[in-house]
Amino acid sequence: MRVMKFGGSSLANWQRFSKIAEIIAVAAEKEQVACVLSAPATVTNTLIETVELAIKGHNFELLLTNIEQIFIRLHSQAAEEKISDTQLSILNSELIAHLSDWRQKLAGVKLLNECPDSVQAQIISSGEKLSANLLEQILIAKGITSSQLDPQELFLAHGAPLEAVVDINLSKPKFKTISLNNNRVWVMPGFSAADSEGKIVTLGRNGSDYSATVLAACINASSCDIWTDVDGVYNTDPRVVPDAKLLTQLSYQEAMELSYFGAKVLHPKTIAPIAQYHIPCYIRNSFNPDSLGTLVSNDTDTTGLNVKAISNLDEQCMFDVSGPGMKGMVGMASRMLGAISQTGVSVSLITQSSSEYSMSFCVATLSAAKVKAALEQEFELELKSELLEAIKVRKNLAIVSLIGDGMRTRKGVAAQFFKALAQASVNIIAIAQGSSERSISTVIEQSKTKNAISACHQSFFDVQHYLDVFLVGCGNVGTGLLEQINKQAQMLKAQNITVRVCGIANSTKMLLNAEGIELSKWPLLLNESQQISNIPEILNWICDQQLLNPVLVDCTSSSKIAEQYVDVLEAGLHVVTPNKKANTRDLAYYQQLRQVALKQKRQFLYETTVGAGLPVIDNLKKLLCAGDKLLQFNGILSGSLSYIFGMLDEGMRLSQATSIAREKCFTEPDPRDDLSGMDVARKVLILAREVGLTLELDDVDIESVLPEGFDSSGSIDEFMENLTQVDEAFMQRISRAKANNKLLRYVGQINQGKCSVNIVEVDSSDPLYSVKGGENALAFYSQYYQPIPFVLRGYGAGTDVTAAGTFSDLLRTLNWTRELDS
């Protein structure tokens, strides 16, 4: 005989009941079947809520009506398609009987303001009975002989009435009294049993899985199939990690550890009965019966990694029993565990430091009060005499465990596990590894579970490295960057780098999507978005999503955004930007940024702030690290002014050259930023600070391209119009230089600890003489590079090179891992 268990998710509506009846009918053609059923989805939860309301003296009628409606709907749909009127009236009268029984019991509970466990067990286990009634009638209507097995007659259990354990040895003989051959299919309600006094008990939440394997053990079934709503057991909860991998085979021990440490797909007690009797168990999907599922048996799949899976057990709290009286005191552990066992609560993890000063253990938060009271009673004297400190209970914790038979033979698993947690900024509160070495468990804050699981999954099972990009500023460079990311995505993926753009914001709106925004549609999606652009909100959202490697890319030229980098770094993001504003604010902020980045182990990268895509900052840093010292710097640092001054060489007027440069996107959005010299001054200051000069922007001596007294106020268009007024003066200045075989160049300089920006006349022997057309040239005279300077030359402006430089900074953040140091 084959046991088949169907969980609440497989019984949510009539279509699901009908589907599982088909699955059973197909199986029953080959072999006799015993089905174990849960209550339809939501029913048990609702029954538990009715009890809670009644205890508080509140009205529970509405909830009972909800349950009634679920079954009335199921019955009438069954009547429409399959079952006869007589069958329908049997089902409805049983439903009415249950409703009246619930009402009576709940009225008593409401009156007493308490509910004995045995009464609670009777109420909450009856959803499964109603499921079994319906399936039995459907099968009969299909012409399959079937009747029910009563778990309260057949399963003898002991232990806490709501967490009972079935005694298989005592239950097994009871099946001998039934002629199992009489029916092709047997149906049994899951979740319940009876104790030695015949009182109904339940087997713990989610306990129908356990009912099924107990039944399989009692009737010595050929196999036990657990049908659920996923294709089998995954290497982690597929709801937490969408690309979790399906496991085809697990050993009993692995499955036991997984279920024990929280994999909801199997109730923790499920595996023991079938492991004892070596019955194979298949976890399968009732929504996708063609999938083969996961086989749990004596064997494991040894082809893959030694680490099989990661699980999480939520809503835990940790007790810490410590004090001078603990040291060397024989029997403390036994007294502590003895007191806990009296409460019937199961301990999920225990650790003790070798100094024997303290022992810690975890239990489900729901049971914390009970356990605390029991311990305080057990250790009353020790607590009074201060041999023990007051018992500490830490709440809102989760246990994250790594599981796999093969971990025994592999070194470095724990190191890799803890490193992954550190990189996800998850603090480990306690650690436990059994000597079976089949699992390693860590206790962490529950709010960090998703982060922890994703980081571990990525470290052990995923070859891809992720970059989660948040782009602020959708001007030329921002848009260009998005295009480049989109174009390169496949190529990078082949190199195991996945770039997900999870946020895009302009000055008014923003768009967020943790799975990554579809880049071919971003302008449309951003336009349709209702969210107002706001950096603190983005940071909160990132924290909620628990993203692993978020990077803020600031493609604005806004001071307001630059002022928020400290918060952004504090929130755990890298910052990548072509925006010069942060690095040219006051020195205190400049230094704070670096300190925070260092502390947070996050990168602040701004290669494109000087020389656009040219590798200026990185090379300069490397030279300084290698011990070089800057003596002097001369450079054409503005692509726009290089372009404009090159055009002036050829006789063009200043206003016309500026207008063409603007059209070609060589200038800043407002060309006054270039012509005022401010943009070059910022770049010189960034370089100067890079070599250690403690200067402010005001310390840079700037000669503006615009003559003194020129009125540069008004809108950009007004300014462009007024610019013609200086054309004549410029023409004359150029003619004078030409008369001496010289050209005008706009040069930024660092010399003897001072920074300046000037219009300089250069002759043909100067390396800057031939630099024009938007090119930048940077000449570094240093201890190692003199008298011939180290020169970097190439396009220093333009959307493509700046976006590409930003992209390359973005990829550099991948090499950085983050660890927690406080």
Binding residues for Mg ion, per CB under 5 A?
Answer: 7, 206
In whole angstroms, give the CA distance from residue 265 to residue 262.
9
CB of 239 to ligand ADP, least distance (A): 4
Comparing CB distances to ligand ASP, the nearer of 189 and 473 is 189
Comparing CB distances to ligand ADP, the nearer of 444 and 747 is 444
In whole angstroms, give the CA distance from residue 270 to residue 208.
9
Residues 6 or more apart in contact with residue 510 via CB below 8 angstroms: 503, 504, 526, 529, 531, 532, 533, 534, 537, 538
Tally Cβ neighbours within 10 Å of residue 72: 14
Tally Cβ neighbours within 10 Å of residue 568: 28
Stretch that binds ligand ASP, among 204-212, 461-469, 548-556, 766-774 (CB under 6 A): 204-212
In whole angstroms, give the CA distance from residue 283 to residue 194.
27
- DSSP, collapsed to helix, strand or coil, labels residue 747 as strand
In whole angstroms, give the CA distance from residue 60 to residue 46.
10
Each residue 187-226 as x (binds ligand ADP by CB under 6 A) or -, in order, gives: -------------------x--------------------
565, 798 Cβ separation under 8 angstroms: no
Tally Cβ neighbours within 10 Å of residue 794: 16
Instruction: Check residue 151 for interaction with ligand ASP (CB under 6 A).
Output: no
Instruction: Check residue 454 for interaction with ligand ADP (CB under 6 A).
Output: no
The string of DSSP letters for 32-83 reads: -EEEEE-PPTTHHHHHHHHHHHHHTT---HHHHHHHHHHHHHHHHHHHHHT-
Instruction: Check residue 7 for interaction with ligand ASP (CB under 6 A).
Output: yes
In whole angstroms, give the CA distance from residue 589 to residue 587.
5
Instruction: Check residue 152 for interaction with ligand ASP (CB under 6 A).
Output: no
Number of residues in contact with ligand ASP, rule: CB under 6 A?
12
From the list 683, 738, 754, 772, the catalytic residue is: 683
Q: Which does 237 bind (CB under 5 to 8 A by kind): Mg ion, ligand ADP, ligand ASP, none?
A: ligand ADP
Comparing CB distances to ligand ASP, the nearer of 125 and 484 is 125
Token pair, residue 258, equals 């997984």
Instruction: Check residue 613 for interaction with ligand ADP (CB under 6 A).
Output: no
Each residue 4-33 as x (binds ligand ADP by CB under 6 A) or -, in order, gives: ---xxxx-----------------------
Comparing CB distances to Mg ion, the nearer of 7 and 613 is 7
Residue 46 sits at φ, ψ, to 5 deg, of -65, -40
Q: Which does 39 bind (CB under 5 to 8 A by kind): ligand ASP, Mg ion, ligand ADP, none?
A: ligand ASP
- DSSP, collapsed to helix, strand or coil, labels residue 286 as coil
Residue 366 sits at φ, ψ, to 5 deg, of -55, -30
Termini Cα distance of the chain: 58
3-class secondary structure per residue, 291-349: CCCEEEECCCCCCCCCCCEEEEEEEEEEEEEECHHHCCCCCHHHHHHHHHHHHCCCCCE
Instruction: Check residue 308 for interaction with ligand ADP (CB under 6 A).
Output: no
Q: Which of 184, 205, 738, 818 binds ligand ASP (CB under 6 A)?
A: 205
Q: Which of 146, 206, 446, 642 binds ligand ASP (CB under 6 A)?
A: 206
Instruction: Check residue 271 for interaction with ligand ADP (CB under 6 A).
Output: no
Provide the pairing of β-strand 531-532 with 509-512. antiparallel
Sign of CA dihedral 597, 598, 602, 608: positive
- 38-57: which residues touch ligand ASP (CB under 6 A)? 38-39, 44
- 228-247: which residues touch ligand ADP (CB under 6 A)? 228-230, 233-234, 236-239
Element (H, E) at 500: strand 497-505
Nearest residue relative to Mg ion (C-beta): 206
Q: 742 an active-site residue?
A: no
Q: Which of 87, 126, 208, 813 binds ligand ASP (CB under 6 A)?
A: 208
In whole angstroms, give the CA distance from residue 214 to residue 216.
5
Each residue 10-39 as x (binds ligand ASP by CB under 6 A) or -, in order, gives: ----------------------------xx
Comparing CB distances to ligand ASP, the nearer of 44 and 634 is 44
Instruction: Check residue 207 for interaction with ligand ASP (CB under 6 A).
Output: yes
Instruction: Check residue 604 for interaction with ligand ASP (CB under 6 A).
Output: no
* Site of interaction with ligand ASP (CB under 6 A): 7-8, 38-39, 44, 190-191, 205-209
* Site of interaction with ligand ADP (CB under 6 A): 7-10, 38, 206, 228-230, 233-234, 236-239, 263-265
**Catalytic sites, residue numbers:** 683
